Amino acid sequence: LFLVAGAVVPELPEVETVRRGLAPAMVGCLVERAVLHRKDYCVRSAGGPCRPRDLLEGAVVRAVERHGKQLAFIAEDGRVLVAHLGMSGQLRALAPGVEPPRSTHVHAVWMLDGGGRVIFRDPRRFGGLWVLKGEAELRERWSRLGPDGLEITGEQLRERAGQSLRAIKAVLLDQSVVAGVGNIYADEALFLSRIHPLRAARSLRAEEYDSLAAAIRRTLLAAIAAKGSTLRDYRDASGEPGDAQAGHAVYGRAGEPCYGCHGKLKGMRVAQRATVWCPRCQPRTRRRARGS
DNA sequence: ATCAGAGCCTGCCAGC
DNA sequence: TGCTGGCAGGCTCTGA
């Protein structure tokens, strides 16, 4: 198994793809040795410096879970380590006998019984590791996040965002509303559901929240499917991580034609983020129903 | 109580 | 060719 988080920004689909690659390589394995190369990359919620046993050294991995963009490694003895990939994080599982590629910015390495290993690399260091006190803290931490993007419903979205005057795009980026949606999939979902990114959250009708939630789930699922197929091509680890951009309807396409109406996609900044939308397909104000 | 903005960090790319 | 400045963005903190 050779797993790579592609060059794209890790959002929910990328993290889920990583999880699916790591789980079979780690679950049931004893962590024989864990090395932290950058001590400031790991934080203990109990305070104090992170030691190898905090990185699960000496423990058997029971599960690799995900909520939103966060990954959790849960050991059989109850130790819990959370990983976030940030902007540029890559978690790779290397099969026994596979020599780790020479690379910079590797902050942590886990050596498993049987010879496999896992490498955490993150050039920009927006990601990190968090040592929790146990599973209860993990559940508490994750309960502060919104429902996972793969399962979000329109009702849940509306409940958590409904009264806000903030732009709907900013609300989608808020992890306490829905967990796992980042800049790319926020734009994609808004385009799919034909909602203008600057609409105030409270101006959306219930049907629009339903359609938005469905678009989020659909977009994320499609991206996971695409990553999976990309990964399969990756066995030889020769080329690029595949044209991940190819599947995006709007993200990164400002100035190019809309796939729906062939009009020109526009770009702007919303909540400090590059935002692309189609002025015709995503009108700012609701079109009045015709002929009524 | 909300929300906007700054700051963190490096890689990449356009422009000189 | 080599430098430089701007941009990319998830998340936390600060201050309005």
- Give the closest residue to A160 by CA, choosing from A216, A221, A224, A85: A216
pLDDT at A140 over 60: yes
Q: How far is the CA of A23 from the C1' of C6 (A)?
A: 39
Rounded Cα distance between A64 and A181, Å, is 20
Dihedral class, residue A47 (left if φ above 0, else alpha if ψ from -120 to 50, else beta): left
Q: What was the pLDDT predicted at A226?
A: 85
- What positions of strand B are covered by protein, i.e. any atom < 7 Å from a CB? 2-11
Which stretch of A26-30, A54-58, A99-103 has the lowest confidence by average pLDDT? Answer: A99-103
Q: How confident is the model at residue A162 (pLDDT cuts 50, 70, 90)?
A: confident
Structure pTM?
0.90
pLDDT tens-place string over residues A65-123: 999 999 999 999 999 999 999 989 999 999 999 988 888 999 999 999 999 999 999 99
Rounded Cα distance between A29 and A15, Å, is 21
Q: Are A107 and A121 a contacting pair, CB within 8 Å?
A: yes
pLDDT tens-place string over residues A185-234: 999 999 999 999 999 999 999 999 999 999 999 999 999 998 766 554 43
Q: How far is the CA of A87 from the C1' of B16 (A)?
A: 30
Q: What was the pLDDT predicted at A290?
A: 53
Over residues A53-66, the mean pLDDT reads 97
Q: Is the CB of A274 under 7 A from strand C?
A: yes
- What positions of strand C are covered by protein, i.e. any atom < 7 Å from a CB? 7-12
Rounded Cα distance between A199 and A284, Å, is 6
pLDDT at A240 over 50: no
